[in-house]
Amino acid sequence: MNLQSVTTLEHAGSASTVQRNRVLRNTYWLLALSMVPTVLGAWIGVATGLSRAMTPGISLVVFLVGAFGFMFAIEKAKNSAAGVPLLLAFTFFMGVMLSRLVGSVLGLGNGASLIMTAFAGTGAIFLGMASLSSIIKRDLSAMGKWLFIGAIMVLVAGIANIFLQSSALMITLAVLVIGIFSAFILYDLKRVQDGQETNYITATLGVYLSVYNIFQSLLMLLGIFGGRDE
């Protein structure tokens, strides 16, 4: 191998590293930005009572149709100028759907502190997984299949529990969701760092969904075990 070939390979490796770092940086920035419409959506939902006005069945249908519709549209538009606005609109929608739980917790005597605790806990989990993703050197691609299966099973069990109304199952599912989606954060960020995911909109969507589910589950558990009536 001559000197020119070595130089070319070094340049390609450097460019690849620069690209991965850019995707990761854009993912973090867009994830932070996505929290703004989420909070706004939750606030509007609580203030208007929009989410609470819907029955659990209707709320489930609206959530599933809206969430999967948005995710399909975001993936279609991820390489166009519409990608980021669609993602932010999706996070606003998710905030509105979160408002039923937020409103219930705010009705508790220590509701505001529980929400802050859930937010801090979610942030700690995210920082922990983000740090691990930069430390672990092995390929985590094999995790994806099992995490996806786990997420589908939890989703199906969660839908079933709307009709079963089992407190024990709800608590169990919340714990499982925290575990599964914490691993998803690690998996998704590692894919970006390994150059397996090169679109920051897709990467942000995956990490956002994990953060959302962790926060929701933490808030639910805190409301059950740490809530105090006014």
Q: How many CB atoms lie within 10 A of CB 87?
A: 26
Span 212-222, mean pLDDT?
95
Count the alpha carbons within 13 Å of 25 in the hemisphere toward its beta carbon.
6
Q: What is the pLDDT of residue 11?
A: 44
Taking only the tens place, the pLDDT of each residue in 125-145 is: 999 999 999 898 888 888 989
Q: Comparing C-alpha atoms, which of 210, 206, 199 is closest to residue 78?
A: 199
How confident is the model over 182-202, as a mean pLDDT?
93
Residue type, 162: I
Which residue type occupies 23?
V
Judge contact between 123 and 32, C-beta under 8 A.
Answer: no
Contact between 207 and 30 (Cβ < 8 Å): no
* pLDDT tens-digit map of 138-166: 888 889 899 999 999 999 998 888 888 88
Q: Is 166 helix (H, G, I), strand (E, B) or coil?
A: coil
Does the pLDDT of residue 199 top 90, yes or no? yes
Q: What is the predicted pLDDT for the residue at 15? A: 45
**Poorest-pLDDT segment among 60-69, 114-123, 173-182:** 60-69
Q: Is the pLDDT score of 8 beyond 50? A: no
For residue range 85-127, list pLDDT tens digits in order: 999 999 999 999 999 999 989 888 888 999 999 999 999 999 9
Rounded mean pLDDT, 66-87: 94
Amino acid at 99: S
